[in-house]
Amino acid sequence: MTTHDTRPGSTGGADTPGPLYGGPDDDYTPEQLAAMSREDLDRLGALHDGVQVLHVDPGPEPGSPLEKRYVRQVGTVFALAGLAAFAFIVVYLGSGWFLPDWEWTIESGTWSSLFTPMLGLLMGLSLALVGLGMVLYARKLLPHETAVQDKHDGSHFDRVTTGATLVGGLHNSGLARRKLITRSLAFMGGGLGLMLLMPLGGLIKNPNTGNPLGRTSWGEGVRLVRDDGTPIRPGDAVPGSLETVFPAVPGGNHESDAATMLIRLRPEQIRVNQPREGQADYGYGDYVAYSKICTHAGCPVSLYEQETSRILCPCHQSQFDVTQGAKPIFGPATRSLPQLPLGVDDEGYFIALSDYPEAVGPTYWNRERI
């Protein structure tokens, strides 16, 4: 009998006319293999591979009450996994639409404090139910066989019979006749697929809408308030004082980019005050207001030395002169602190006339130095 190379990666003689090599003692032609049923090919491949079956548990009898009960259990778990995935999608997309807005605030008891935990809980529950459903399906519905086999040589015969074995595995899984499980799997798969796409939120909800890096909660008519929410009148501070103020909006005293220094200049400072070009009317009387966020690395600046008119950043020692439009005069900062235009409302309280004319905080790639 003619022999052929049957090492892994070889064709096993499948590329030459004549009988097919690499099988058991008898040779099998392609016609003989094609005429065999999937079950016969499966058994033949096992015989050739030297498989020794030690134990067989066929699982519940098809159509039996026990099988139906297991199918209901597995289908229910897969359906619950899909429901948890779709609930994740509802929470993610429903915020600001038919659910409260998701924007994070520091106050406890708000929807925003539950938004992220709910997303994590629903995603974790969905994935856990997927795993549970797969374990239940494998343990209760799949046939169990304990066997040992010798290593095969990877011939064409092996490929044909192995393919039959794989198809047989799908047939033995019972998915084709267990419609409840296949439907719940389809439902679960759709939910999981969408759920895993949701974290790519930039494809659904553009986080840069409205220039978030270039605006704060300050705006025309927004009052300046202290940390406790009380408004401020021009006569409330003494010359040379500095007070941190916030916009009178919900949660404004916890918005780090909106923190502002309200400074009342002393008479000698007013005489030498040189506002930046185009901002001569940003102050109100002897009051000026500057961002509390350092333009170098974003640290809070609040150390004010009124004798020298300097504001010091404690992180990297940048210094800003309030009589020169908060221009940096020492340290690594290269941009002036943005100035907030001030006014007074009908009740005599300080208000902002607009937002900062430029973005607060450190410089980023598409912002010019000012």
pLDDT tens profile 248-303? 988 777 777 889 999 999 999 989 989 999 898 999 999 999 999 998 888 888 78
pLDDT attached to residue 5:
45
pLDDT band at 224 (very low <50, low <70, confident <90, very high): very high
- pLDDT tier at 129 (50, 70, 90 boundaries)? very high
Q: How is domain 213-352 classified at the architecture level of CATH?
A: 3-layer Sandwich (2.102)
Window from 37-41, 131-135, 202-206 with minimum mean pLDDT: 202-206
Residue 31 clears pLDDT 90, i.e. is over it:
no
Q: What is the pLDDT of residue 29?
A: 76
Strands 52-57 and 144-148: antiparallel
Amino acid at 321: D
pLDDT tier at 247 (50, 70, 90 boundaries)? very high
Residue 97 banded pLDDT, cuts 50, 70, 90: low
Terminal Cα distance for the chain, rounded: 90
Residue from 67, 198, 202, 228 nearest 140 by CA: 67
Contacts of 320 (CB under 8 A, 6+ apart): 290, 301, 310, 311, 313, 326, 327, 328, 329, 333, 336, 337
pLDDT average, residue stretch 117-143: 88
Distance CA 194, CA 213 (A): 29
Average the pLDDT over 88-108 and give the result: 64
Q: What is the band of 227 on the pLDDT scale with cuts at 50, 70, 90? A: confident
Domain(s) labelled CATH 2.102.10.10 in the chain stretch across: 213-352
Average pLDDT of span 305-331: 90
**Cβ burial 333-366 (10 Å sphere, 16+ → b, else e):** bebbbbbbbbbeeeeebbbbbebbeebbbbeeee
Residue 3 has pLDDT above 50, yes or no: no
- Which stretches of the chain are DSSP H helices? 30-35, 38-48, 65-94, 111-140, 156-173, 179-197, 267-272
Amino acid type, 161: T
Dihedral sign from CA coordinates of 126, 131, 132, 136? positive
pLDDT of residue 118: 86
Per-residue pLDDT band for 179 (boundaries 50, 70, 90) equals: confident
State the Cα–Cα distance between residues 281 and 342, nearest whole angstrom. Answer: 8
Average pLDDT rounded to a whole number, residues 181-189: 82
Q: Tell me what pLDDT residue 14 has.
A: 39
Q: Write down the mean pLDDT value for the chain.
A: 78
- Number of helical H runs and strand E runs in the chain: 7, 12
**What's the confidence (pLDDT) of residue 34?**
81
Token output for 53 = 């079956």
Say if residue 157's pLDDT is above 70: no
More reliable by pLDDT, 222 or 172: 222
Place of tokens 């908060």: 326
Return the closest-CA partner of residue 11 out of 19, 21, 24, 1.
21
33 or 236, which is more confident? 236
Q: pTM value?
A: 0.48
CA angle 171/172/178 to nearest 5° reads: 80
| Other CB atoms within 10 Å distance of the CB of residue 74 | 25
Residues 238-252 have a mean pLDDT of 88
Return the percentage of the chain with pLDDT > 70, whole number: 71
- Decide if pLDDT at 367 tops 70: no
* The pLDDT value given to residue 19: 40
Q: What is the pLDDT of residue 12?
A: 39
Q: Any idea which of 142-146, 235-239, 335-339 has the lowest mean pLDDT?
A: 142-146
Residue 342 has pLDDT above 50, yes or no: yes
Res. 364: pLDDT tops 70: no
